[in-house]
Structure 1
Amino acid sequence: MSEQRLLALKAPRRPGFENFIAGPNQALVDTLAQGLEHGAWYFLAGPAGSGRTHLLNAVFADRHRRGETVGFMALSVRANRALLDEASADWVLVDDIDTLAGDEDGERALFNALNRWRSEHVGVLLSGAGREAFELPDLRSRLGQATRLTLKPLEEADLAALVERLSSEHEVVLGRGAADYLLKRTARNPAAIARLIESLAQRALSERRTLSVPLIREVIR
């Protein structure tokens, strides 16, 4: 079997609470893992790449393990927006709601869905950069009724821990000085780091190399 085939069979990373580097966000993560109230609304706020999608996936898996019905829709995928008209479950998780901001039909669809979920006592977890860009006043008001959970940026030590965790999960050896070198040359958010580590790990595994400074230099050049 070819090396490429072996890599393709490697299980993808499964986002969970246990492999999320919380840093200054531990209280927020604890709320998502243990403190969500049935029928309540929550708004997970943070910039793109801050870990919002990871946490929504963690909540999805956790609620599913509890035997609850859960719906998940990523509104960054335009085709998923039609799900707003029909989704219903014990919990509905809606990622990237700010991609609807400024879209009259999209904003109205989200507003109508929120009204329906309120009447059905559905628990709702939304994520986005914020609600300020929405133009529909009634929608901004509805979003303001959700408990806001704001992700704070990870600190230097947390980012280094993330590099080490991702390297371990991809089963590659992290070379001396590689974490510091990488962090100085990539966007300092979890999503960008995760994408780069995945690319580096594939290269390292295919060439049977350590995830080292020379390898990072080759890949990002």
Structure 2
Amino acid sequence: MSRAQLPLALKPPRRPRFDNFIAGPNQAVVATLSQGLEPGDWTFLAGPPGTGRTHLLAAFFADRCRRGERAHYIALGKPEQRMLLEHADGDWVVIDDVDRLAGDEAGELALFNALNRWRAERTGVLMSGAGRDGFELPDLRSRLGQATRLTLRPLEEAELADLVRSLAAEHEVLLGRGVVDYILSRAPRNAGRMAELAVAAAHRALTERRTLSVPLVRDILHDRAG
């Protein structure tokens, strides 16, 4: 392949931080997670899919590690990580998608035992999920109820537009005329899905040395529909 054919080196993956989260109506939640949690606190971050739960948990985890605190991150959307419930300890344990264990007898018991251990060790716990109602083990529901609940609200249209512009700026691509409105009109009203589309379009624009334009986004949507 000739030098002219080589694609531009892409920017590294976006690192979730508190300062690159479009908070919208969730300013108080972000402030609590970034500044308001004390050692030993238990917190449950609730909200529909696509509201940024994973982003905020990753930002919290990175922030605690930067402070020199011992933290473990468990993504329960990945079944192979469930065994980490038996071993994680330290100052903080961060658990994403905890409701993936709801209705799973063995999974619920493993979480209950882990929470009991962390309570005895005074480990801070930050969990996320759509909610806590699906768990069947009464003692586990009681334990989860001891966590302070923070609830994320979906972004409004203006805030979703800010999200698209922010992602384009982070990837240092030029936004073409009308592309933000086009994405808002075509993508699901879900910040996570919209961010996924915007990042894919930014990567393609960088690779092909193009403006992030309406035709480029249309091509991506057509490819996905196919």
Q: Which residue of 1 aligns with 2:39?
A: 38
Q: Is structure 2 residue 1 aligned with structure 1 residue 6?
A: no
Would you say 1:135 and 2:136 are equivalent positions? yes
Return the alpha-carbon distance in structure 1 between the equivalents of residues 82 and 19 of structure 2.
30
**Aligned-residue offset at 1:5:** 6.6
In structure 1, what is the equivalent of residue 199 of structure 2? Answer: 198
Partner of 1:79: 80
Determine the structure 2 residue equivalent to 1:47: 48
Contact 2:72 2:92 in 1 (8 A): yes
Aligned to 2:114: 113
Matches within 5 A, 1:161-180: 161-180=162-181
Aligned partners of 2:112 and 2:140 also within 8 Å: yes
User: What residue is the counterpart of 1:102 in the other structure?
Assistant: 103
Say which is worse superposed, 128-137 or 186-195, in terms of deviation.
186-195
Give aligned pairs, total: 219
Q: Which residue of 2 aligns with 1:217?
A: 218
Answer yes or no: is the 8 Å Cα contact 2:8–2:207 preserved in 1. Answer: no
Q: Structure 1 residues 130, 208: closer, same or farther in 2, change over 3 A?
A: same
CA apart distance, 1:125: 0.1
Measure the CA separation in 2 of the matches of 1:120 and 1:5: 49
1:211 match: secondary structure: coil
Aligned-pair distance for 1:193? 1.4
In structure 2, the CA distance between the partners of 1:18 and 1:3, relative to structure 1 (3 Å rule), is farther
**Deviation at 1:135?**
0.8
The residue number in structure 2 matching 1:160 is 161
TM alignment of 1:59-70, pairs within 5 A: 59-70=60-71
Residues 115-134 of structure 1: CA deviation (Å, up to 9, x unaligned): 00000000000000001111
Which structure 1 residue ranges, 5 or more long, are not aligned? none
Q: C-alpha deviations, 1:137-159, integer Å up to 9, x for none? A: 11111111100000011111110
Identity %, equivalent residues: 65
Q: Which runs of 5 or more structure 2 residues have no equivalent in the other structure?
A: none
TM-score of the two chains, using structure 2 as the length reference: 0.94
2:186 alignment partner, SS class: coil
Aligned mates of 1:129, 1:78 — CA distance in 2: 18
Corresponding residue for 2:21?
A: 20
Offset, 1:195: 1.2
Query: In structure 2, how many angstroms separate the alpha carbons of the residues matched to 1:42 and 1:206?
Result: 41
Q: Distance in 2 between matches of 1:123 and 1:206?
A: 42
Task: Kindly state the Cα deviation for residue 4 of structure 1 after the two structures are TM-superposed.
Answer: 3.9
TM-superposed deviation, 1:6: 1.8
Counterpart AA for 1:63: R
Equivalent pair of 2:8/2:206 in contact (CA under 8 Å): no
Any runs of at least 4 consecutive aligned residues in structure 1 with deviations exceeding 3 A, and if so which?
1-5
